[in-house]
């Protein structure tokens, strides 16, 4: 399937069906603000059917030989390669991705599928000795069952694939709820790709519905063993509370307030280029995007001048044009939220030295100076193309500024020596940090996740393999065991 109308449906047990809710969802192009399609929303009854279908399919899938599981993932990669242009086109028109960002997203999603293809043969148990004579201890690694995945709208194809592919590769089945802004790229397009690759019925199911109607039921339903969510800290906290009440495991990748620290001995030109990429890729709508740029006071003015010149060369506009670097935000509410934080910060003394012009859902790249940590544009996650620059006097103050806020997802340090950068990096309370680079880094085999309010658990490589599996201990008594009751 590749026609627009095909994706305006739910996908349950291998069938494309209309949602049974009386409510509807609109899929809107964020650049043109035109409606791509309208569809019937999923109801709680649809959700229940999807979970029961996934539970039934999981028992057969878990017993499927590893070679067949691996072959499915390899088939998925082949289908992705064949449909690459279609995937990129949907990312551009549905999520406002520039062509560069869409290509990058395709590549890292492909990397996730490739890494996941190795998982069926990495489901290794253990044999252990026992202190009890004649006993053998066996620890089996098994799939957890049904995984509920809630996909986001910012990197929709990749971040849904990041949970879906590893979950399926490790013997689980999936019910996927895509973000309402990206129904296709976070949901139905993935289902169609897996179906074309030969996935059995019920292996992956997609229910697109409003969070207000099926969100709580999605988490609280008794069937899923793990809820995987990528999104805001506020929603993630709500999900964690609900999952905890039902004794469910969670994989939560939440908000960030990531810093790029530029020290006195840094290469300022390199730091400015890192800052431009790490701040403005996908309009800053990435959990790992730079939220604050911390610059040593001795280098502040020079850095800002270099940074400003870099940004003046970046084209903002239609994401479907090859040379566009900054495209639209996902919807008008995001624009208004950022505009409020920007204006409130200016009223508190920040200075706008570049950009900020608003055209529809497009915000032209902006630089703010004279920013402090207590201003809305610094303390809130921006998720947009505004770059606050904060001056610091020494390394201790830079670390304090970085750690003062409650997030800890990613970060970066630009210094003259690796040793200097590593010394600072070790002091930052974050799940990931990058020296002489920028914070937007995600490779399929590395640990990905945050500390503090930025989430729970880790994605990537062996870490996500462990998240979607469970260990079962079986002991074997090979000779009759004497018990003290009968001595």
Would you state the pLDDT for residue 2?
Answer: 46
Residue 120 is part of which domain span?
4-254+454-473
* Residues 54 and 71 occupy one common structural domain: yes
**Tokens matching residue 21:** 């809710």
Judge whether 297 counts as a catalytic residue.
no
Question: What does the pLDDT read at residue 211?
Answer: 85
Q: What angle do CA 311, 377, 93 make, to 5 degrees?
A: 60
How far is the C-alpha of 204 from the C-alpha of 168, rounded, in Å?
8
- Are 339 and 360 spatial neighbours (Cβ–Cβ below 8 Å)? no
CA dihedral 193, 195, 201, 205 (to 10 degrees): 20
Looking at the structure, tell me whether residues 148 and 172 fall in a common domain: yes
Cβ-Cβ contacts under 8 Å for 63 (sequence gap 6 or more): none
Please give the average pLDDT of every successive group of 10 residues along the chain, which has 487 residues: 68 97 96 96 97 98 98 98 98 98 98 98 95 96 98 97 98 98 98 98 96 94 97 95 95 96 98 98 97 98 98 96 97 97 97 96 97 98 98 97 97 97 97 98 95 95 95 96 90
Q: Taking phi first (over 0 means left), then psi (-120 to 50 degrees means alpha), and beta for anything else, what does residue 151 get?
A: beta
Residue 482, in any domain of the structure: no
Q: How far does Cα 56 stand from its chain's mean position?
A: 28
What is the predicted pLDDT for the residue at 217? Answer: 97
Residue 484 lies in a domain: no
Judge if 344 and 459 occupy the same domain. Answer: no
Looking at 406, 435, 464, the residue that finishes a domain is: 435
- Closest by Cα among 273, 280, 278, 272 to 258: 278
Predicted local confidence at residue 5, as pLDDT: 46
Say which CATH number the domain at 48 has. Answer: 3.40.605.10
Q: What is the pTM of this model?
A: 0.95
The per-type count for the chain, helices as H runs and strands as E runs, is: 15, 24
Kindly state whether residues 240 and 369 are assigned to the same domain. Answer: no
266 and 160, same domain (yes or no): no
Question: Are the C-beta atoms of 42 and 209 separated by less than 8 Å?
Answer: yes
Give the length of the chain.
487
Q: Which of 112, 120, 209, 88 is nearest to 161 (CA)?
A: 112
Q: What pLDDT score does 487 carry?
A: 76
Q: Are residues 262 and 242 in the same domain?
A: no
* Cβ proximity of 123 and 171 under 8 Å: yes
Same domain for 266 and 247: no
CA distance 407 to 484: 55
Give, as one character, the DSSP assignment of residue 459: B
With a CB cutoff of 8 Å and minimum separation 6, the contacts of 433 are 410, 411, 412, 413, 425, 439
Q: What CA–CA distance (Å, rounded) separates 201 from 349?
A: 58
- Cα separation of 211 and 216, whole Å? 7
467 and 400 part of one domain: no
Same domain membership, residue 248 and residue 341 = no
Burial of 38 (0-12, 13-18, 19+ CB in 10 A): exposed
Indicate which residue of 49, 253, 381, 429 is catalytic. 253
Task: Retrieve residue 485's tokens.
Answer: 């009751």
Claim to verify: residue 132 and residue 243 sit in the same structural domain: yes
Model pLDDT, residue 1: 45
* pLDDT at res. 6: 75
Does residue 29 fall inside a structural domain? Answer: yes
| 246 plus 271 within the same structural domain | no
Per the structure, how many domains does the chain have?
2
Question: How far apart, in whole angstroms, are the C-alpha atoms of residue 158 and residue 144?
Answer: 22
Indicate if 33 and 129 belong to the same structural domain: yes
Which tokens go with 484? 């003290």
């Amino acid at each position: 399937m590749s026609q627009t109308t095909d994706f305006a449906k739910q996908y349950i047990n291998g069938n494309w069906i209309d949602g049974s809710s009386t409510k509807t969802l609109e899929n809107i192009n964020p650049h043109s603000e035109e409606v791509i399609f309208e569809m019937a929303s999923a109801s709680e009854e649809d959700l229940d059917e999807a979970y029961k279908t996934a539970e039934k399919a999981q028992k057969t899938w878990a017993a499927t030989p590893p070679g067949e599981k691996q072959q499915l993932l390899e088939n998925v990669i082949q289908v992705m390669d064949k449909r690459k242009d279609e995937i990129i086109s949907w990312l551009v028109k549905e999520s406002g991705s520039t062509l560069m960002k869409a290509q990058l997203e395709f590549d890292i999603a492909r990397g996730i599928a490739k890494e996941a293809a190795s998982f069926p043969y990495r489901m290794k148990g253990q044999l252990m000795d026992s202190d009890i004579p004649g006993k053998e201890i066996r620890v089996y690694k098994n799939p957890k069952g049904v995984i509920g995945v809630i996909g986001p709208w910012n990197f929709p194809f990749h971040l849904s694939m990041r949970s879906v592919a590893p979950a399926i590769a490790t013997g689980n089945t999936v019910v996927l709820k895509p973000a309402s802004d990206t129904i296709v790229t976070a949901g139905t397009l993935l289902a169609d790709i897996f179906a074309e690759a030969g996935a059995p019925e019920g292996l992956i199911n997609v229910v697109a519905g409003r969070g207000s109607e099926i969100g709580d039921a999605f988490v609280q339903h008794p069937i899923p063993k793990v809820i995987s969510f990528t999104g805001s800290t506020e929603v993630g906290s709500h999900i964690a509370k609900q999952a905890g009440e039902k004794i469910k495991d969670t994989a939560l990748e939440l908000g960030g307030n990531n810093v790029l620290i530029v020290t006195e001995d840094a290469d300022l030109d390199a730091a400015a280029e890192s800052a431009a990429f790490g701040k403005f890729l996908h309009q800053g709508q990435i959990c790992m995007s730079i939220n604050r740029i911390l610059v040593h006071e001795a280098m502040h003015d020079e850095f800002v001048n270099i940074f400003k010149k870099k940004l003046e060369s970046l084209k903002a506009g239609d994401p479907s044009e090859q040379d566009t670097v900054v495209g639209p935000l996902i919807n008008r509410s995001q624009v208004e939220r950022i505009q409020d934080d920007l204006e409130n910060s200016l009223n508190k003394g920040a200075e706008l030295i570049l950009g900020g012009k608003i055209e529809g859902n497009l915000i032209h790249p902006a630089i703010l100076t004279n920013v402090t940590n207590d201003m809305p544009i610094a303390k809130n996650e921006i998720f947009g193309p505004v770059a606050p620059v904060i001056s610091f006097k020494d390394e201790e103050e830079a670390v304090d500024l970085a750690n003062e806020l409650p997030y800890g997802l990613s970060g970066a340090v630009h210094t003259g020596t690796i040793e200097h950068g590593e010394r600072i990096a070790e002091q930052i309370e974050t799940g990931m940090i990058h020296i002489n680079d920028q914070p937007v880094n995600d490779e399929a085999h590395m640990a990905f996740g945050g500390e503090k309010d930025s989430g729970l658990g880790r994605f990537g490589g062996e870490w996500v393999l462990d998240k979607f599996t469970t260990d079962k201990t079986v002991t074997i008594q090979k000779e009759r065991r004497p018990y003290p009751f009968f001595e």
